[in-house]
């Protein structure tokens, strides 16, 4: 599935100031050259009704919202990044494998989790939507499909708060009527070129002679367009770079701040994480807890170890420390608790890496 947050920057602004929710909200990148020079980053759906679009000059957006009680705000990337991290922390826990793309989007491979059952996937997606709304007061749009390409197009096809499921047998009837620029990789220029060949819909692209297509667009792109138009895609969902982590999160049987009660849950989560990372022979160097208090605020506390380890007792011990620290800082009960380990290295090294002599252990 692909999860995409709705009008992300503007929605983030609404969460910190709910009073603006029923007004057009426009988030802007001010260039600083003159008062209104710069471009619109994004806007809420109310502003979009007036014709405001991402990338539009600010003065034009102001013109569209003349005599309307609208809110114009400067971008605050630190704030959006913080919310993005919290969202991704939640989403990650629902996936067999997870791939964040951009600040407000992620692919979740849920093949195993749902046993390839699209009805189970539908229920899981509903759970995810409820979870993101309850924890962070944000809506998102979700697309479910047999591969990443279809999931992405499905997610784009209904917004905001959208939900679109495309089963394998429904792929072609979903895709074929769509205009070609809904296909990932078809921009303005490609669209014009295809239109000059008489191709206007994805169905027409699928029916177009594959050899002719490669003679126009080259071998690589031509065969991509041909396969994509047929809904074919086999790219795996894979977390890129070093950000990889494994996490599990769970709702407590009751709201509580009882240490031993919570620890019995985190121990269980640690066991699950341990079996997941053991299979891949990974050592970890960072441990975090994710705590959602009864006010639905998501807190994360993490600690970086001096050396990578694959020892589950260390994992549990650090979780205990972090939990004790967190509980000493809040008066509230916990509603949900999660554990995350990260900073993996492949070898089960017992030897101290050189860096451990330079880098002191830090906790944040
Ligand atoms: P998108 O997911 O493309 O847009 P969105 O979340 O605002 O709206 P939608 O409901 O259609 O998903 O982009 C995510 C964020 O990236 C968006 O909130 C702001 C930023 N962005 C820009 O700064 N400039 C742009 O031109 C676009 C498209 C996005
Ligand atoms: Mg979005």
pLDDT, tens digit (0-9, with 9 covering 90-100), for 241-300: 544 788 888 889 999 999 999 999 999 999 989 987 887 778 999 999 999 999 888 899
Domain ranges of the chain: 9-76, 78-167, 176-229, 245-342
141 alpha carbon – ligand 2 mean position (Å):
8
Element (H, E) at 226: helix 219-229
pLDDT at 363 over 70: no
Ligand 1 proximal residues by C-beta, below 6 Å: 4-9, 41-42, 54-55, 103-104, 159-160
Tokens of residue 319, six digits? 């979780």
Count how many residues are written for the chain.
364
Interval 172-229: pLDDT, tens: 999 999 999 999 989 999 999 999 999 999 999 999 999 999 999 999 899 999 999 9
**Architecture (CATH level 2) of domain 78-167:** 2-Layer Sandwich (3.30)
Token code pair at residue 9: 């920057």
Band of pLDDT at residue 240, cut at 50, 70 and 90: low
pLDDT of the residue at 238: 84
Which H or E run includes 55? none
- CA 326 to ligand 2 center in whole angstroms: 32
Q: What are the Cα distances from residue 215, in Å, to 20, 119, 227?
A: 53, 42, 15
Bond from prior residue into 260 cis (ω within 30 degrees of 0): no
Give the per-residue pLDDT at 86.
94
**197-203-206-212 Cα dihedral, nearest 10 degrees:** -10
Choose the CATH number for 176-229 among 2.30.30.240, 3.20.20.80, 1.10.150.20, 3.40.50.850.
1.10.150.20
pLDDT score recorded for residue 343: 87
- pLDDT confidence bin for 355, thresholds 50/70/90: very low
Distance of CA 208 to the CA centre of its chain: 35
Which tokens is 289 given? 């807890």
Q: Is the pLDDT of residue 309 over 90?
A: yes
Pocket test for ligand 1, best of 24, 56, 104 (most atoms within 8 A of CB): 104
Which one from 13, 14, 99, 105 is the annotated catalytic residue? 105
Angle value at C-alpha 115, between 111 and 116, nearest 5 degrees: 60
To test the pocket of ligand 1, the residue of 15, 30, 31, 54 to mutate (highest count of ligand atoms within 8 Å of its CB) is 54
Query: pTM here?
Result: 0.71
Q: Tell me which CATH code domain 245-342 carries.
A: 3.30.1490.100
Q: What is the CATH number of domain 9-76?
A: 3.40.1170.60
105 among known catalytic residues: yes
């Amino acid at each position: 599935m692909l999860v995409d947050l709705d009008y992300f920057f503007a929605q983030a602004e609404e969460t910190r100031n709910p009073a603006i929710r029923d007004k057009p909200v426009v988030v802007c990148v001010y260039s600083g050259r003159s008062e209104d020079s710069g471009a619109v980053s994004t806007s809420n759906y109310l502003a979009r009704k007036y014709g405001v679009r991402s990338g539009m000059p600010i003065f034009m957006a102001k013109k569209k919202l003349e005599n309307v009680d609208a809110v114009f705000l400067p971008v605050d990337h630190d704030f959006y990044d913080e919310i993005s991290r919290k969202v991704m922390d939640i989403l990650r826990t629902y996936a067999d494998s997870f791939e964040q793309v951009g600040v407000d989007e992620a692919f979740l491979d849920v093949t195993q989790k749902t046993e390839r059952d699209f009805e189970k996937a539908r229920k899981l997606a509903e759970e995810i939507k409820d979870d993101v709304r309850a924890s962070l007061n944000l809506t998102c749009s979700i697309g479910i499909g047999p591969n990443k390409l279809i999931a992405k197009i499905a997610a784009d096809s209904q917004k905001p708060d959208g939900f679109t499921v495309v089963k394998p047998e429904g792929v072609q009837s979903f895709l074929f009527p769509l205009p070609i620029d809904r296909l990932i990789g078809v921009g303005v220029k490609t669209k014009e070129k295809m239109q000059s060949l008489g191709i206007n819909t994805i169905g027409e692209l699928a029916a177009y002679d594959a050899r002719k297509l490669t003679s126009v667009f080259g071998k690589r792109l031509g065969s991509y367009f041909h396969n994509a138009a047929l809904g074919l895609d086999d790219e795996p969902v894979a977390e890129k770079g070093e950000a990889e982590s494994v996490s599990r999160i769970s709702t407590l049987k009751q709201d509580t701040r009882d240490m031993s009660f919570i620890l019995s849950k985190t121990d269980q989560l640690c066991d699950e994480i341990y079996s997941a990372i053991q299979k891949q022979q990974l050592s970890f160097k960072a441990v975090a807890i994710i705590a959602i208090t009864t006010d639905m605020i998501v807190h994360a506390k993490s600690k970086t170890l001096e050396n990578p380890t694959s020892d589950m007792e260390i994992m549990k011990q650090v979780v205990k420390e972090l939990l004790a620290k967190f509980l000493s800082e809040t008066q509230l009960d916990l509603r949900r608790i999660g554990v995350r380990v990260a900073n993996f290295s492949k070898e089960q090294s017992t030897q101290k890496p050189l860096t451990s002599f330079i880098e002191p252990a830090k906790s944040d």
